[in-house]
Structure 1
Amino acid sequence: MHIAEKTIEVRYAETDQMGVVYHANYLVWLELGRTKLLEDLGFRYAEMEADGIISPVIDLNISYKSPVRYGEKAMVKTWIELYDGLRVTYGYEIYNENGDLSVTANSQHVCVKKGSFRPISLRRTFPDWHHAYEQAKK
């Protein structure tokens, strides 16, 4: 199983009045983690989108454990938890600068045609991605 790691420098704009990262900003960090995972596997979402395919989130679960604060560096770890050729579930863990687990999450995605939102088979449409996902998953 391949686990991508992405370091995030917490910006002031990402925090609330208590100086901790506002909960919705973790969703952006999950996207950064997915992007890093794809880059590690040799791909880019932009290439898929250029072919008229997008990958919307169809389910998301997130659990907040401990805060990440302004001025810290966070570590986002991302992996492929499940993949069936059509849907992919990414797993995530975010750690604060002290190495404490701050967030656990998973998001499920499906690839669809941009104009119609009709699902496509990653296996048939992007066989290289399919193979890489099969190799990288749990």
Structure 2
Amino acid sequence: MKIVSTKIAVRYAETDQMGVVHHSNYVVWFEVGRTEFIKELGFSYAEMERDGILSPVIDLQVSYKQPTTYGEEVSIHTWVEEYDGIRVKYGYEVKNKAGQLCVTGNSVHVCVKKDNFRPISIRKTLPHWHEAYEKIKKK
């Protein structure tokens, strides 16, 4: 299984008055991790979108284990949890510098045509992505 780690420095704007990261920012961090994961595979979300394909989130799950705070550095670990040729389920873990698990989650995505939002088969429309996901999905 391929796991990509992406480091994030917790910014002041991401925290509340107590200096604790606001829960909504973890979803943004998941997106950062997912984008880096795709880049490591040799692909580009931006290029896919220029080709008229979008990848909306159809399900999202987040579990908060321990707060992260302003000034910390965290790592987002991203992998493909499940893939069936149409849907991709990415898994995420956010850990602090001490290696403590702070947040876990996953997001499920499909690909759709930009002009009509109709789902497409990744297997047929993006065969290189399909090959890569088949190789690295969680066994």
Range class of TM-score, shorter chain: over 0.9
Query: Structure 1: which 5+ runs fail to align?
Result: none
Q: Does 1:47 align with 2:52?
A: no
Q: Does 1:31 align with 2:31?
A: yes
Runs of 4+ in structure 1 over 4 Å off: none
The aligned counterpart of 1:81 is: 81
Secondary structure of 2:129 counterpart:
helix
TM-score when scaled to structure 2? 0.98
The aligned counterpart of 2:125 is: 125
TM-score when scaled to structure 1? 0.98
C-alpha displacement of 1:77: 0.2
Count of equivalent residues = 138
In structure 1, give the amino acid aligned to 2:16: D
Query: Structure 2: which 5+ runs fail to align?
Result: none
- Distance in 1 (alpha carbons) for counterparts of 2:97 and 2:70: 11
**Equivalence map 1:1-138=2 (5 Å):** 1-138=1-138
C-alpha displacement of 1:97: 2.1
- Distance in 1 (alpha carbons) for counterparts of 2:20 and 2:98: 14
Secondary structure of 2:76 counterpart:
strand
Superposition RMSD in Å: 0.6
In structure 2, give the amino acid aligned to 1:108: V
In structure 1, give the amino acid aligned to 2:71: G
- Distance in 1 (alpha carbons) for counterparts of 2:126 and 2:47: 11
- Distance in 2 (alpha carbons) for counterparts of 1:100 and 1:20: 16
